[in-house]
Amino acid sequence: MRTRSIVHTCHEAGFAKVNLRLRVLGRRPDGYHDIRTVFQSIEFSDDVDVSLRIGGRRSVQLLCDREDLNNERNLAWRAADLLLRKLGLKAQVHVRLTKRIPVGSGLGGGSSDAAAVLRAISYLLREPPAQDVLLDVASALGSDVPYFLTGGTAVGSGRGTDVIPVPELPPTWIALALPDVEVSTAWAYRALAENRAAGLTSSGSWTRVGDGGLGSLPFHIGASKSLSEWMLNDFEGVVFRRYPALHEIKRQILACGACHALLSGSGSALFGVFDSFQEASRASGALAAAGVRAEAVRFASRADCGLASEMDEELAKSD
C-alpha cells in the first residue's frame, strides 16, 4: 500500500533591524572586527514561507521573487541546508521568499530571512533542536543572524554574534529612508580601518571608537529625544565620504524635525526618530517627494516578532 508523505508548512516574518548605536573596535585574530552595538527590530519585514517533508533525499529549494537572489548563495537557502546537515536529517525543505528589505541597506534582511528559516524548520519538527544548536548554525551563517533569533532590543558584542536581550525600548516611530544604493559591509570595514591607519582620527565619527563602551543604555526612557542624545554610528564618516547623497538624506530627515537621524549598520538605509506616527509619516512623505523611498515604521518588540519568552518575564521582574 502506498502512503503519502505529509508536508508541513510555516509562515515567518523576517523583521528588519536598525542599529541604535554601533561602535567598531579592533580587528580580531579571525579577521573580523569586535563591535559593540544595540540592535532594534522594526516593523518592516520580508515574508518567509517554509514547507518541510520528512524522509527521502535531503534537498533544499528556494523560490525568491528577486531573480538575483534565487540561488544557493542566499542565506535563507544556506540556513536550511546547514540545519538539515547539522541535525543529520533527511528531508525536503522548500522556502518561498518575498523581499521588501533592500539588499545592502544595513537592515539585516538576508540575516533575518536566514533566522526565519531556522525558526520555521524548528517549529515544524516533531522534536525541535535545542536553542544552542540553532545559535551555532546562526553564528556559522553570519554575524547578524543570532540576533534575529532574539529580536527586539538587544546588545551585540564580539563580531556581533554574542547577543544579550535587554528590556524593550518604548514603541518609538521612525522615518525609514531606503536609498537606491547598496553599500558593501566588507568595503565599509576596510575603509574604516584604512582611514584610522592614515591618521584621519581628527574628524569623522570614528574618533569615538577609542573607549569601546556602549555608555549608559537608555532602556527606561519614555521620550525619543533622550534616545537620540545617545545614538551614534562609527561607519557614518567613511560611508558619507564615499556616498555624499546619503549624508544629504540624513540632513533632510533632520530638517523634517527628527530628534536624531542615523545610518543603520554600514548603510545605505537611514532612519530618523520622531515623537509620533504623524510626524514620521510627514517626514516619509517629504522624502518620497524628493525621490527617496521612505516609510513610517515603529520599533518592534520581541512579542511583535513572535520571539517573547521566559527571558522577557525575568527582565520584567528586574524593572
Measuring CA to CA, which residue among 296, 289, 246, 291 is closest to residue 274? Answer: 296
What's the sign of the alpha-carbon dihedral 143, 146, 151, 152? negative
Task: Give dist(CA 293, CA 181) in Å, integer.
Answer: 11
Name the amino acid, one letter, at 302: R
User: Which one of 46, 113, 144, 304 is the catalytic residue?
Assistant: 144
33-54 and 7-27: which strand pairing?
A: antiparallel
Cβ neighbours for 275, distance < 8 A, ≥ 6 positions apart: 173, 223, 224, 225, 259
Question: Is-catalytic flag, 99?
Answer: no
Rg of the chain, C-alpha, whole Å: 20
Q: Pick the catalytic residue: 17, 113, 234, 250?
A: 17
Task: Please say if 250 is a catalytic residue.
Answer: no
SS (H, E, C) 74-141: CHHHHHHHHHHHHHCCCEEEEEEEECCCCCCCCCCHHHHHHHHHHHHHHHHCCCCCCHHHHHHHHHHH
Q: Give the integer Cα–Cα distance in Å for 109 and 21.
A: 18
Rounded distance between C-alpha atoms, residue 176 and residue 271, angstroms: 4
Give the active site residues: 17, 144
